[in-house]
Amino acid sequence: MTAKTIFILNGPNLNLLGAREPEIYGRDTLADIEAACAAAAKASGFEIDFRQSNTEGTLVDWVQEADTKAAGLIINPGAYTHTSIALLDALTAATIAKIELHLSNIHAREEFRKHSVTASAADGVIMGFGAAGYILALDALKSLLEKRSA
């Protein structure tokens, strides 16, 4: 991987996008989102490494890998947003630029979804824009990387 690679990590149940609660998460599949991200990243001079796992430990491993191989990280932790101290610790240890992303506005959801355990380790959080949030996150990450290199 090059220094211009962006890791985009997706947590539990995001493999079900397009079928799972489309009224909340939209009709785009994860493959649709990956294709849009690849095109947007290429236009900005980046490559993406796009992954999804339902397993917390795998996501932790990938965050650690991103810290050594990527220029930046976008993560949609899914339900681990609200529960994973292990993911928080991995994100906190990572020194690369990081954006937390959510398809829905977690503050407009059930009470237990309104708190993000992991957000404090991110440089910024984007939520509530559906699949378009991924492109917004790429733009935000590009801006963060430009500021860091200036």
Cα–Cα dist 108/60, whole Å: 27
CA distance 122 to 38: 22
Question: Given 25, 80, 107, 134, which residue is catalytic?
Answer: 25
Active site residue 82: no
Residue of 80, 102, 107, 134 with catalytic role: 102
25 is annotated as an active-site residue: yes
Q: How far apart are CA 148 and CA 75, in angstroms?
A: 19
**Cα dihedral sign, 86-89-95-99:** positive
SS3 of residue 76 by DSSP = strand
Phi, psi (5° rounding) for residue 55? -110, 125
| Catalytic residue set | 25, 102
